Chains A and B, each alone.
Chain A
Amino acid sequence: MTPLTTNGVLAAELPHVAAATGTASLAWLLFVLPAAGALVLFVAGRRADAWGHWLGVLTVAASFVIGLLIFLETAGLAPADRTRELSLFHWIAVGDLSVDFGLRLDPLSLTFVLLITGVGGLIHLYAVGYMAPHHGGDEGSDRAARRRFFAQFNLFITAMLLLVLGNNFVMLYLGWEGVGLASYLLIGFYQDRPSAATAAKKAFLMNRVGDVGLAIAIFIIWTNLGTLQYTEVFERIGELSAGTIVAITVLLLLGACGKSGQFPLQAWLPDAMEGPTPVSALIHAATMVTAGVYLIARTNPIYNLTETGRLVVALVGVITLLIGAIIGCAYDDIKKVLAYSTVSQIGYMVLAVGLGPAGYALGIFHLLTHGFFKAGLFLGAGSVMHAMHDDVDMRRYGGLARYMPITFVTFGLGYLALIGFPFLSGYFSKDEIIGAAFGQPGWQGWVFGGAATLAAGLTAFYMTRLMFMTFFGEKRWEKLKSDDGHDYHPHESPAVMTIPMIVLAFGSLGAGFVLSNGNLLVNWLTPTLGELEEPHGGALGHEYVPWLVVGFAALGVLIAWLTVGRRPTPVERPEPVSLPVRAARRDLYANAINEALIARPGTWLARALVYLDNRGVDGVVNGTAALLGGSSGRLRRLQTGFVRSYALSMLGGGVLVVAALLAVRFA
């Protein structure tokens, strides 16, 4: 148990930062390799069509190897020495602002490095198969598209690594915007689809809202402390007033909400499924959308100082996990169900980090296991779509288990992990979070824990519904044709796609057990995140939680079986439906609320400003011009062209001058 002040953790607990040596001094290769890959793929053009995708896979795999070496080296050090920094060069020096281009290698960032490069490498491999040119299609343009895809994918890996490796807020922001750019490019990857372009714009704009919050938080930090290095900021953050700290935490949370699809900025994430499935798996499930969780975990010394800020974070997480779970029950689009599941699961993580020292490590734990099983689920969904002519409507699936056994098994393992089937990944990580939530004192324990448990039941319901509709039941596709008029011929995907799925399935299966065995991950993260506080007291004892959660999940499965599994599924969406379902189908009116609260007033404001500009500002400008023009038009009538009238005015002037002289002289 760590000594707590009323305000939070003492600054003295911050880890000692050493200079990186040994293998760790090669850490710059981590992001330089994917960057080089992206550069080559962007620049080389058609010459790289044949081998470009393998270059992409190779660079990420190499990064993974380096990351693994650094990880092993770090693991060999004493826990107190595990936080190291590698300063590469002096990046920005403007006036008082001085920013290093430096890397921070500590347990937290290394965990992320392994997740990003490991899962990223697997999904790269999968994408080699997924993005392969279609037979009978336009092979040339397909190959060019694949090269473009891998270039942008490598760009994403680079930016994401910069985000987690940077040792200051500016590098964090650099990576933050980099992944935003890559996300925008990849969501809009299918440039010929207007829906993809719209989704990309939506994601970009809603991310901007969050990014503004992050930027302002960084500005506040710099204005008050004069530095942006993590080490110095965390040491001196206690000097600031409580109000400033709350402001910083809320603004950081806004940034996290934008990037992680949290309430109220969650609406972009489901639309982001317009991108290719590997993108959904890597960026919009496993890594980028967890950047918000990373941000809060990384700035834990700031959040430790403010109870209020953490409460806001936890509330946002609770609201989001409920929203995601409710909406996930209503969608028929397999990727959107998974997307809302992602929203919901990230809500769990945000709830966890919002619990403070009792939950940081749990949030990261769930992030890791979720990275495995959600990536696996998305890859499975991609495999199903691959088999079903890119159709995403689950009502047209059914009975696919027989045709795609590998996909079925790997997907099923991911499914079990997600719903928290005992002794699979999700069971460990999610139950820990729910337990920590119940461990909160007072009303918070009941509300947080209750909502999380309820959402766990809902998760079980919608995921079971998805399983039933996709892999079991009647083969509804036999009587249907795809949109482009083909019969469906479900088939298993090639090995290049199934191997990553299998590897990730092992992750879904065992990651939770391995990482929680002897509190492995929690202890590993202790130097960065502090000791994990065991919940004590609180609303509900820790020992009841697994029973409760598993019970709710079983209930969800049962309801799903009763409503979906044992009844035939109509191919057309049933209409009309009850009010809750209607609301869920419409994203709980999130888009309508955004439209009504933000977009419409924004449009009105813009129109009013345009009117003001046209009539007000332009009116003043044009009015001045018209006034001058009119008066000069009248004044020029004085120019009669008659020499004698000019002479007359000259004489008049002369008389005046003489009179003035005399007046001065003799007055």
Chain B
Amino acid sequence: MTLDLLAQAAPDPGAVSTGEAVVFWILGPISLLGALGMVFARNAVHSALALVGTMFSLAIFYIVQQAPFLGFVQIIVYTGAIMMLFLFVLMLVGRDSSDSVVEVLRGQRLAALVFGLGLAVLLVAAVGRSLTSVTPKGLPADGPGYSGNVTGLGAKIFTDYLFAFELTSALLITAALGAMVLAYAQGKSHAKRGQRATVEARLRGEHDRISPLPGPGVYATGNSVAVPAVLPDGSIAPESISAIIDATPVREIEDEPGPDARALTGGRHDDTAEESR
């Protein structure tokens, strides 16, 4: 509401009111600082946050300059959606891959600085020289022919700019599809091997052993996956227990007074158990 008031405070819609000047002199340096911070921050997340600040300032400038719709779109879409998307991708990709300080391209920084300064000077000079004595007309705050910023924009977009608007819709759809195609991770490189192919690979000797690993002796002597399977000669099959559970002292299990285990392992289980470890 305050912002609205600020915009309407001036009797002449084009003139700059004191309030607006105050806002400009506060937010203008902030936006510049944000921009510089974004460029010079080492950490990409800091850059993004600095950019968010600049964009906020710009949104307020829009609102002050009688473009409230754009201002809110700036906040909602840019600072809200797009910058969040940036942060999201940053987290996914390169948060920790901060730039190295060393510049690989010789003279790149110096040239960039010179050109950037040159551009700034030229643009400032051009604007300064050509727009010194401009009396801004300003948009009509009310009265005939004005029915609010959003309505005005809508009228423009759906009449004069209809064709361009439709084109942007096509562009958005294309962009959405393109992003899906590009970002879709599932490649065909990890196609699952069928049963027949697996068997053939085993017989060809591509695996360590020809048969599957023996299951643990869950149903033989106990119901724990930590109980190893027992081979026909009564010895323990070491492969039957997962390497993770290998830490479980097999000896303890064997020492447990389990009649079934003893019956099946015979007399040689101790040595084999030792070896299996």
List chain A positions with a Cβ less than 8 A from chain B.
640, 642, 644-645, 648, 651-652, 654-655, 658-659, 661-662, 665-666
Cβ B108 vs Cβ A644 within 8 A: yes
Cβ B123 vs Cβ A648 within 8 A: no
Of B72-80, B110-118, B191-199, which binds chain A? Answer: B110-118
Given contacts A644-B105, A648-B108, A659-B122, A666 and B129 within 8 Å (CB-CB): yes
Cβ B105 vs Cβ A645 within 8 A: yes
Cβ B108 vs Cβ A658 within 8 A: no
Q: Name 23 interchain pairs, CB-CB below 8 A, sorted by A.
A: A640-B105, A642-B104, A644-B105, A644-B108, A645-B105, A648-B108, A648-B115, A651-B112, A651-B115, A651-B116, A651-B119, A652-B115, A655-B115, A655-B118, A655-B119, A658-B119, A658-B122, A658-B126, A659-B118, A661-B126, A662-B125, A665-B126, A666-B129
Cα–Cα distance between A177 and B105 once the two chains are bound (Å):
77
Cα–Cα distance between A662 and B118 once the two chains are bound (Å):
13
Of all A-B residue pairs in the complex, the 8 with the closest CB atoms, nearest first, are A651-B115, A658-B122, A655-B118, A655-B119, A662-B126, A655-B115, A652-B115, A648-B111
Q: Which residues of B sit under 8 angstroms from A651, Cβ to Cβ?
A: 112, 115-116, 119
Of listed A652, A654, A655, A662, residue having the most chain B CB within 10 A: A655
Contact partner, A658, options B104, B123, B129, Cβ 8 Å: B123
Which secondary structure dominates chain B's binding surface? helix
Cα–Cα distance between A652 and B110 once the two chains are bound (Å):
13
Looking at the assembled complex, report how far the CB atom of A281 sits from the nearest CB atom of chain B, in whole angstroms: 90
Looking at the assembled complex, report how far the CB atom of B102 sits from the nearest CB atom of chain A, in whole angstroms: 14
Q: Which residues of A sit under 8 angstroms from B111, Cβ to Cβ?
A: 648, 652
Q: Which residue of A lies closest to B125 (CB)?
A: A662
Cα–Cα distance between A658 and B112 once the two chains are bound (Å):
16
Cα–Cα distance between A658 and B120 once the two chains are bound (Å):
11
Cα–Cα distance between A506 and B155 once the two chains are bound (Å):
122
Q: Which residue of A lies closest to B116 (CB)?
A: A651
Q: Which residue of A lies closest to B123 (CB)?
A: A658
Which secondary structure dominates chain A's binding surface? helix
Given contacts A651-B115, A655-B119, A658-B119, A642 and B126 within 8 Å (CB-CB): no
Other A-B contacts than A648-B111, A651-B119, 16 sampled, CB-CB below 8 A, are A644-B105, A651-B115, A651-B116, A652-B115, A655-B118, A655-B119, A658-B119, A658-B126, A659-B118, A659-B122, A661-B126, A662-B122, A662-B125, A662-B126, A665-B126, A665-B130
Interface residues on B, range: 10 to 19
Q: Which residues of A sit under 8 angstroms from B118, Cβ to Cβ?
A: 655, 659
Q: Which residues of A sit under 8 angstroms from B130, Cβ to Cβ?
A: 665
Cα–Cα distance between A644 and B111 once the two chains are bound (Å):
11
Looking at the assembled complex, report how far the CB atom of A630 sits from the nearest CB atom of chain B, in whole angstroms: 24
Q: Which residues of B sit under 8 angstroms from A665, Cβ to Cβ?
A: 126, 130
Cα–Cα distance between A140 and B118 once the two chains are bound (Å):
97
Q: Which residue of A lies closest to B126 (CB)?
A: A662
Q: Which residues of A sit under 8 angstroms from B105, Cβ to Cβ?
A: 640, 642, 644-645
Q: Which residues of A sit under 8 angstroms from B123, Cβ to Cβ?
A: 658
Q: Which residue of A lies closest to B103 (CB)?
A: A644
Looking at the assembled complex, report how far the CB atom of B35 sits from the nearest CB atom of chain A, in whole angstroms: 16
Q: Which residue of B lies closest to A650 (CB)?
A: B115
Cα–Cα distance between A645 and B111 once the two chains are bound (Å):
10
Q: Which residue of B lies closest to A640 (CB)?
A: B105
Q: Which residue of B lies closest to A659 (CB)?
A: B122
Q: Which residues of A sit under 8 angstroms from B108, Cβ to Cβ?
A: 644-645, 648
Q: Which residue of A lies closest to B112 (CB)?
A: A648
Looking at the assembled complex, report how far the CB atom of B101 sits from the nearest CB atom of chain A, in whole angstroms: 16
Q: Which residue of B lies closest to A647 (CB)?
A: B112
Looking at the assembled complex, report how far the CB atom of A219 sits from the nearest CB atom of chain B, in whole angstroms: 71
Cα–Cα distance between A458 and B202 once the two chains are bound (Å):
110
Q: Which residues of A sit under 8 angstroms from B129, Cβ to Cβ?
A: 666
Looking at the assembled complex, report how far the CB atom of B191 sits from the nearest CB atom of chain A, in whole angstroms: 34
Q: Which residue of B lies closest to A654 (CB)?
A: B119
Chain B 83-127 interface residues, beta-carbon cutoff 8 Å to A: 104-105, 108, 111-112, 115-116, 118-119, 122-123, 125-126
Looking at the assembled complex, report how far the CB atom of B106 sits from the nearest CB atom of chain A, in whole angstroms: 10
Chain B 110-168 interface residues, beta-carbon cutoff 8 Å to A: 111-112, 115-116, 118-119, 122-123, 125-126, 129-130
Cα–Cα distance between A648 and B115 once the two chains are bound (Å):
8
Q: Which residues of B sit under 8 angstroms from A658, Cβ to Cβ?
A: 119, 122-123, 126
Cα–Cα distance between A193 and B125 once the two chains are bound (Å):
95
Looking at the assembled complex, report how far the CB atom of A499 sits from the nearest CB atom of chain B, in whole angstroms: 97
Cα–Cα distance between A662 and B121 once the two chains are bound (Å):
12
Cα–Cα distance between A445 and B103 once the two chains are bound (Å):
106
Looking at the assembled complex, report how far the CB atom of B243 sits from the nearest CB atom of chain A, in whole angstroms: 46
Q: Which residues of B sit under 8 angstroms from A655, Cβ to Cβ?
A: 115, 118-119, 122
Looking at the assembled complex, report how far the CB atom of A495 sits from the nearest CB atom of chain B, in whole angstroms: 96
Q: Which residues of B sit under 8 angstroms from A648, Cβ to Cβ?
A: 108, 111-112, 115
Of listed B115, B123, B130, residue having the most chain A CB within 10 A: B115
Looking at the assembled complex, report how far the CB atom of A659 sits from the nearest CB atom of chain B, in whole angstroms: 6
Looking at the assembled complex, report how far the CB atom of B119 sits from the nearest CB atom of chain A, in whole angstroms: 5
Looking at the assembled complex, report how far the CB atom of B26 sits from the nearest CB atom of chain A, in whole angstroms: 30
Cα–Cα distance between A651 and B123 once the two chains are bound (Å):
13
Cα–Cα distance between A662 and B122 once the two chains are bound (Å):
8
Cα–Cα distance between A665 and B122 once the two chains are bound (Å):
13
Cα–Cα distance between A648 and B107 once the two chains are bound (Å):
11
Cα–Cα distance between A137 and B118 once the two chains are bound (Å):
101
Q: Which residues of B sit under 8 angstroms from A659, Cβ to Cβ?
A: 118, 122
Q: Which residues of A sit under 8 angstroms from B125, Cβ to Cβ?
A: 662
Cα–Cα distance between A655 and B129 once the two chains are bound (Å):
17
Cα–Cα distance between A666 and B118 once the two chains are bound (Å):
17
Looking at the assembled complex, report how far the CB atom of B22 sits from the nearest CB atom of chain A, in whole angstroms: 32
Looking at the assembled complex, report how far the CB atom of B20 sits from the nearest CB atom of chain A, in whole angstroms: 29
Looking at the assembled complex, report how far the CB atom of A378 sits from the nearest CB atom of chain B, in whole angstroms: 91
Looking at the assembled complex, report how far the CB atom of B251 sits from the nearest CB atom of chain A, in whole angstroms: 63
Cα–Cα distance between A642 and B104 once the two chains are bound (Å):
10
Cα–Cα distance between A19 and B40 once the two chains are bound (Å):
108
